[in-house]
Amino acid sequence: MTKKIESILNQEEFTKSDLIQLMKIEDKEDLELLFKKAYEIKSKYVGRKVYYRGLIEISNRCIKNCNYCGIRRDNKKVERFSMSKDEIMKSVKWIYENNYASLALQSGERQDKEFVDFIEDLIKEIKTLSNGKLGITLSLGEQSKETYQRWFDAGAHRYLLRIESTNLDIYNKLHPMDNKHTFEVRKRCLEYLREIGYQVGTGVMIGLPNQTEEDLVNDILFYKEMDIDMIGMGPYILHRDTPLGKEWENVVRSEEKRVELGLKMIAITRILLKDVNIAATTALQGLDPNGREKGLLAGANILMPTATALEHKGKYLLYDNKPGIKDSVEKAKEDMDKKVKSIGDEIVYGAWGDSLHFKNK
């Protein structure tokens, strides 16, 4: 087997069937070869550099009802919170003072006027506080083109909106239809973001029941076709108070297999797309204490340490056993610094670390 994988990895171009073969690798030596190749490509195209995005989870209120997510609208067990502007600005200041240079605002989805105005003001305030120096990524779900434009004009320049899965059967299983939560709408949102001029990020959940290796390759081909600049993806993790958390308890692949698939996704995405930004996500670490470092070694170059205030962290639970919810932001930073250095990557402070793919266009 190793010779075959070696020869695929030495090619300049890959067919879909090559990519599926890579996605199906199970042999440990072959996996090492795959990760090594991805790390080589990362070194060559984006450098052995890691950029931080300080993540602030500003609210767990959500109008959507995704069947996998712990903060879905119908989960009545969740204590809902929305951070005040002052609270958010405190985290922003911490991120700025710790020289992260970029932050990401994430929350459940809301489309009402109050929320849209609030975010617009917040973006302006962040820009003012940092003299325009903090790069702002938004991860606030599906919005109208006008809203995306307003937030862009206020100073946000990157947007993450995961496509979750490009297999339509899976997409529809993940998302109830009651609030027009369709694949088409989500894809159109990605197109709006591109037209407006954002650096556009997307991603999928990995290791969902009935998701095949071919589906995952199709997800990567979707990133390519949509000319995506940034990728954030991670293994699916059960949440017990969700419809799918119950239904899938006994059919989901083992945690180890989901981590392995997650790492293969990172590696193959890096090998195919080369100069994009790829995050090693918290979900990866949720299933493996060393998940994020393994992600960096498989080709990721972005980490998103949470800077959410400790009192709210425990309420932003998209899945069970979310790591780090008892850690202070300082501890999260220390841990991460050590881990990144231990694998020999350099942490770059004070620079935006924009997607080179976006710049190279």
Work out how close the CB of 24 gets to ligand SF4 at its nearest, in angstroms, rounded to a whole number.
28
Q: Give the dihedral of Cα atoms 65, 62, 246, 185; nearest 10 deg.
A: 40
- Please give the single-letter amino acid code of residue 127: K
- For residue 22, state whether it binds ligand SF4 (rule: CB under 6 A): no
CB nearer ligand SF4, residue 141 or residue 155: 141
Backbone Cα Rg of the chain: 19
Rounded Cα gap, residues 232 and 303, in angstroms = 10
HSE value, Cβ hemisphere, 13 Å, CA-based, for 65: 11
Beta strands in the chain (DSSP E): 49-52, 54-59, 102-107, 135-139, 158-160, 199-202, 205-206, 230-235, 277-280, 302-303, 346-348
- For residue 319, state whether it binds ligand 5AD (rule: CB under 6 A): yes
CB nearer ligand SF4, residue 62 or residue 228: 62
3-state secondary structure of 206: strand
Q: Give the dihedral of Cα atoms 127, 129, 135, 137; nearest 10 deg.
A: -70
Which listed residue (64, 162, 294, 333) binds ligand 5AD by CB under 6 A?
162
Work out how close the CB of 202 gets to ligand SF4 at its nearest, in angstroms, rounded to a whole number.
13
Work out how close the CB of 361 gets to ligand SF4 at its nearest, in angstroms, rounded to a whole number.
29
- The mark string for 104-143 relative to ligand 5AD (x by CB under 6 A, - otherwise) is ----------------------------------------
- The mark string for 56-75 relative to ligand SF4 (x by CB under 6 A, - otherwise) is ------x-x-x--x-xx---
- For residue 215, state whether it binds ligand 5AD (rule: CB under 6 A): no
- For residue 159, state whether it binds ligand 5AD (rule: CB under 6 A): no
What is the contact surface with ligand SF4 in residues (CB under 6 A)? Answer: 62, 64, 66, 69, 71-72, 108-109, 141
